[in-house]
Amino acid sequence: QVQLVESGGGLVQAGGSLRLSCQASQRTFNPYVLGWWRQAPGKERQFVAAINARGDRTEYSDPVRGRFTISRDNVKNTLYLQMNSLKSEDTAIYYCGRASGARFEDIVFTPENYDAWGQGTQVTVSS
């Protein structure tokens, strides 16, 4: 059974930081590409960041590049998203997802390539 469980969301002031975590079972976690997506009210789900199975390749969306850092711990089966310099436009529900496919750069940006999702964690940034 595929299971991804996010945590770490909350309310933070603009300029602050949060670290999200996504805990998975070993079978869910390795050797998959993992990503973070977010969805704000009334908007489509938006790609945030992704990391390959070994953790040595990452991709970020333009709005978060330089502020967010994705990482993974393959021993603890945990995915992280360190979010710094948060802005009000970062307010959304954040989801972690598992993707599979032939090439990292070809699969991470398309939600249809993700076959498992967590339930989401709310991040609210007050201005």
Q: What is the pLDDT along the chain (127 residues), one digit of tens a residue?
A: 668 999 999 999 999 999 999 999 777 787 899 999 999 999 999 999 999 999 999 999 999 999 999 999 999 999 999 999 999 999 999 999 999 887 898 889 999 999 999 999 999 999 9
The structure tokens 């710094």 sit at: 84
Give which of 83, 51, 46 is closest to 67, Cα–Cα.
83
pLDDT at 68: 98
Q: Which two tokens stand for residue 73?
A: 């711990």
pLDDT at 103: 87
pLDDT at 118: 95
Give which of 100, 84, 111 is closest to 33, Cα–Cα.
100
Which neighbouring-strand residues pair with 110? none
pLDDT at 28: 74
Angstrom distance (rounded) from CA 120 to CA 73 = 20
pLDDT at 100: 84
Give which of 38, 59, 62 is closest to 49, Cα–Cα.
59
Inter-residue contact 14 to 87 (CB < 8 Å): yes
